[in-house]
Chains A and B, each alone.
Chain A
Amino acid sequence: MEPITALLATMVLPLLAFVLCLLTPNRHNIRDGGTFIIAVLLFGCVLNVLYHFNNETPVAYEAVTFQAGLSIAFSVEPLGMVFALVASSLWIATHVYGIGYMRGNKEQKHARFFACFAFAIFATMGIAFSANLLTLFLFYELLTISTYPLVAHKENDAAKKGARTYLGILMGTSIAFLLTAVVWTYAIAGNLDFKLGGLFEPTLSPMFTAVLLAFFAFGIGKAALMPFHRWLPAAMVAPTPVSALLHAVAVVKAGVFSMLKVGVYVFGIDNLSSTGASDWLMWLAAFSILAASFVAMAQDNLKRRLAYSTVGQLSYITLGVALATSMGVIGGGLHIVTHAFGKITLFMCAGAIYVATHKTNISEMRGLGRAMPFTFIAFGIGSLSIIGLPPFAGSWSKWMLLVAAADTQQIIIIGVLLLSSILNVAYLVPIFARGFFSPASGTGSKALNANVPWREKIAEAPLLVVVPPCITALGCIVLFFYADVIVEFIAPIATVPSVETTNG
């Protein structure tokens, strides 16, 4: 396939799935099967784009002229490539999981659900391959709008309230700050095309750079930087597949991905580090990391705890940008991948527990591990990867962020990162540890009875719900060994050459 065709196909295919879902409201098998095939094809297309990728002659496509010198345009660059790969591969897993979840849980309105899902993937692809800020902004908003019906899916009062918070914060921040930032950038720089090293003249005053960066950082509400993080826990009213893909991968990662793009291609990390304009962002990110972890510890609802954990983990990536070193940016880019795999595993496990037992609170999950061993093992792997222990993928990105902090001699930041890891242990490990080692809460449970053979003790959720988290958990392990491939791939965006040597 021609590279351009493949690039466009990555956006056309999800749209096809969207139309397919709308056309087949009642033919469940055709819709779900068709969407699955499209998801696989999409992944193939993204691989095809990757196959043709090289840094010298990037594939670019100009779709629509918005204004003289400004257009809706797409191009392929390393960060976007990685993001597209993550999102498209995890779409397959989540779609399978979603079918199992929606059917196992007897949820309503499958067609709308899967249609919005496909549209969200379309928007995600658009974000990943956007060639300028305008395109990025366009798809960013489309993503917000298309996920709103997913959050409000249950249509009860809680869902309505959550969805209102979701939309209010995401759309509010993006219009109030991001739009301002984009227009302001255009007014100063005269164009919006992403360019390595930044769009601005180096003579821009540090004060001004810091203010503009603030507009971007708060405008990209999807990065869930405090104090604009409330939408993420609010969005947990959504069905779990939504939380899994969208709020561990597509939506939140679109946020931090935009943050990375802005840091690397709009400001330029050299500009940021020489002006010190991102110092305040570093401290705010550090605060977000710790505060979110503490809040997460206090949550009993599993999905809410994971949501706050996500808030903290996203700030790692923001921190990577704010450190303004090549290592920080690469670590941030890698963290997009590793956290995606880890967090989606955790969410899918949470959903599997819900489908099997209808339990949502952590305190009710004691001893559940013996009944649902696969789910809990997957959960354990995901947790350890998030915490950052080898041999799981998360360890690399955290390691690189630590190195970045050490490079810039931010002792306090090193401390924050270490403390955060400990807090991660404190809020994640007990969940699966108690699942295996605590006695079950209910009496008369099969699991407690020593006479029952182990095979009968197992009461897992349906296969379609259990297999996907196991696969993504495996992904966490595999990525540990292939992290260097990703690092080498995204290294060109950070110009300092010492990158390859640090990653053994």
Chain B
Amino acid sequence: MLSFFSAHSPLLAIVIPLLAAPLCMVFGNKSVAFVISFLAAAASFALSVFMLLWVKDGTVLSYHIGGWAPPLGIEYRVDTANAFVLSIVSAIGMLALSYARTSITTEINEKHHTLFYACFIMCFTGLMGVTITGDAFNIFVFLEISSLSTYTLVALGAEKDKRALSAAYDYLILGTIGATFFVIGLGFIYMATGTLNLHDLSQRLPEISDSRTVRAGFALIVIGMGLKVAIYPLHRWLPGAYTYSPSAVSVFLAATATKVALYVIIRFMFSVYSKDFAFEAITFQYVILPLALIAMFAAAFVAAYQINIKRMLAYSSVSQIGYMLLGLSILNVEGVSGAFVHMFNHAITKGALFMAIGAIVFRTGSALLPNMAGLGKQMPWTSAAIVVGGLSLIGIPGTAGFVSKWVLMSAAFEREWWPIALLIVASSLIAVVYIWRVVEVLYLQAPAKESVVQEAPLSLLVPTWILIIATIVFGLYADFAISISTTAAEYIMQGGFGGKEVIILGVEGR
């Protein structure tokens, strides 16, 4: 039995949540739907962690679906990098679901709750699938699964605020453009190589790397995925989608959606294409690096002027994505590992912050800063969570955010790009400004006289504080994230989709 689970873990991690979605709709009862989707996410999380422990030394799991050998059949390929991302996505997904049960009661009409859980677990499946698959077209399929369900999830916020509809529409249009670019790009490289398997592609592309088709494919893929990542000028959809979607959705999207897209970019840039291709080095130096720096500053400045805290955190996300891209453009092992470390640390930090804000919205009905005066006293645990999460966003030692900064700066010094290191800290200073605006209002302003606000219910506080404690624990025991990311980065920087050894799964009994 156990060997069945371990032998089929890559497939089960996807299939279980995939089946959970229709099951939710079949039962049609919101409590049953919650239980099903939560159990599916938990199972997926357990399997992801299991795989992560298996591959954290650089092993690669290659799962042949239906026993059909790639490149003919579809392959799920798990290495350190995507096992790490899978664990992040499934952990946040599970926590966000447990949080959603209470948080959506004030945001979504009860008759839509079943639909919500079904969409949520569908979106979860899509993101997991994008991450785990070793097949380029499969990425597109799963991407569409996650995107379509995300549009629905964002639009579900419309019962509270009609602007959710226009935000969902924005996201729909831009997300579709992104996906279209991506699939056209895939078409180009399929035309040039005749294969869609990522590992196979990485073997065939070097020979024809100067072909215009291959280069155009690269541009289309990067821009298409860049839209999903919200690389600076392509971030238009993000603030709206994060601000007006239901709290649990904001948590899940902010912590995972952009990271998964970024993972795909990393996979294409370093594994499928190679960093040694001349046009790629130029792309990093003249496109990605400047855009990352602009994002770090411009988005942070914009964040400092937001009245709506969810929007502020959304812009902060754009700025934090800049850090990850910066890590990539440093183009050494430390930099790429910094990007992975920051993916993880930012996921738990931002997840926790969105949860805490969601708890405030749950109690006060508003995410506007002026309405939060004096909440430090009325909602002490929630406010404390915002402070700790905020400190992590700034990068105070002892929190997860510090670890990211540590690794990214080490990477910059490693390449002797010390001005970049200075820019990294300078951008954190803006984070001090936008975080401390909130802290001051929470703690140092007197509450409105008649306001009686209770502390958030435990069902919201517990997931929030699980993530907050995680930010502190992983801020101190940084070795966990750093060593995994370093292994991931080392194999990624070697190019190709290889590892220490490849274990083939899913072919027994044939």
- Interface residues of chain B: helix, strand, loop or mixed (majority): helix
Q: How far is the CA of A175 from the CA of B402 in the complex (A)?
A: 10
- The answer to whether A175 and B425 touch (CB under 8 A), given A65-B477, A141-B397, is yes
Contact B396 A186 (CB under 8 A): no
A152 within 8 A of B: yes
B261 at the interface (CB under 8 A from A): no
Does any Cβ of B come within 8 Å of A64's Cβ? Answer: yes
Q: Which of B96-104, B203-211, B478-486 contacts its partner? A: B478-486
Known: A72-B476, A167-B436, A175-B425. A187 touches B410 (CB 8 A): yes
From B34-42, B163-171, B414-422, the one touching the partner chain is B414-422
Closest to B439 in A: A148
**Cα distance A64–B402 when bound, in Å?**
15
State the CA gap A172–B476 with chains docked (Å).
22
Contacts of A59 in B (CB 8 A): none
The proximity string for A residues 197-235 relative to B, scoring 1 for CB distances below 8 Å and 0 otherwise, is 000000000000000000000000000000000000000
Given A137-B397, A152-B444, 8 more pairs with CB closer than 8 A:
A67-B482, A138-B397, A149-B443, A152-B443, A164-B440, A171-B432, A180-B425, A187-B413
Q: How many of chain A's residues have a CB under 8 angstroms from any CB in B?
A: 32
Within 8 A of B (CB), among A163-183: 163-164, 167-168, 171-172, 175-176, 179-180, 183
> In the complex, are the beta carbons of A67 and B478 less than 8 A apart?
yes
Give the interface residue-count category, chain B. 20 to 34
Query: B409 is contacted by which of A134, A183, A188 (Cβ under 8 Å)?
Result: A183
Shortest C-beta distance, B163 to chain A (Å), equals: 33
Q: Please name all residues of chain A whose beta carbon is closer than 8 Å to the beta carbon of B406 when the two chains form the complex.
A: 67, 183
Q: From residue A173, how far is it (CB to closest CB) to chain B in Å?
A: 10
Chain B residues in the interface with A (C-beta under 8 A): 391, 394-398, 403, 405-406, 409-410, 413-414, 418, 421-422, 425-426, 428-429, 432, 436, 440, 443-444, 446, 476-479, 482-483
A160 vs B429: C-alpha distance in the bound complex, in angstroms? 19
Nearest B residue to A71 by beta-carbon distance?
Answer: B479
- Report A22 CB to chain B, min CB distance, Å: 10
* A239 → B minimal CB distance (Å): 15
Give every chain B residue within 8 A of A186 (Cβ-Cβ): 410
Shortest Cβ distance from residue B151 to the other chain A in the assembled complex, whole angstroms: 39
Inter-chain contact A141/B413, CB cutoff 8 Å: no
From B396, B421, B432, B479, contact of A65 by CB (8 A): B479
User: Does A433 touch B at the CB level, under 8 Å?
Assistant: no
- Chain A residues 82 to 139 lying within 8 A of chain B, measured CB to CB, are 134, 137-138
Q: What CA separation (Å) do A183 and B414 show in the bound complex?
A: 10
Contact of A172 among B422, B432, B479, B483 (CB under 8 A): B432
A184 contacts B421, C-beta separation under 8 Å: yes
Q: Is A454 an interface residue (CB 8 A)?
A: no
A184 to B398, CA, bound (A): 19
| Chain A residues whose CB sits within 8 angstroms of the CB of B476 once the complex forms | 64, 66, 72
Question: Which chain B residue shows the least CB distance to A179?
Answer: B425
B421 touches A183 (CB 8 A): yes
A68 within 8 A of B: yes
Interface residues of A, Cβ cutoff 8 Å to B: 64-68, 72, 134, 137-138, 141-142, 145, 149, 152, 155, 159-160, 163-164, 167-168, 171-172, 175-176, 179-180, 183-184, 186-188
A63 to chain B, nearest CB (A): 8
A152 vs B376: C-alpha distance in the bound complex, in angstroms? 14
B428 near A68 with CB under 8 A, answer: no
Do A175 and B394 form a contact, CB below 8 Å, given A66-B476, A68-B479? Answer: yes
A188: chain B residues within 8 A (beta carbon): 413
12 residue pairs A–B, Cβ–Cβ below 8 Å = A65-B479, A66-B477, A67-B406, A68-B479, A141-B396, A163-B444, A167-B436, A172-B432, A175-B394, A179-B405, A180-B425, A187-B414
Question: Are A175 and B478 closer than 8 Å at their CB atoms?
Answer: no
Q: List the B side residues contacting A179 at CB < 8 Å.
A: 395, 405, 409, 425
- Give the interface centre of B397, B414, B418, B421 by most chain A CB atoms within 10 Å: B397
| Residue contact B440 to A160, C-beta cutoff 8 Å | yes
Is the Cβ of B396 less than 8 Å from the Cβ of A183?
no
Shortest distance from the beta carbon of A101 to any chain B beta carbon, whole Å: 21
Distance from A96 Cβ to chain B, minimum over Cβ atoms (Å): 28
- 9 closest pairs, A vs B, by CB? A187-B413, A138-B397, A183-B409, A64-B476, A66-B478, A141-B396, A176-B425, A65-B479, A67-B482
Chain B residue nearest in CB terms to A134: B397
Find B391's partner among A145, A163, A180, A184 (CB 8 Å cutoff).
A145
Alpha-carbon distance A66/B432, docked complex (angstroms) = 24
**Taking the nearest CB of chain B, how far is it from the CB of A315, in angstroms?**
25
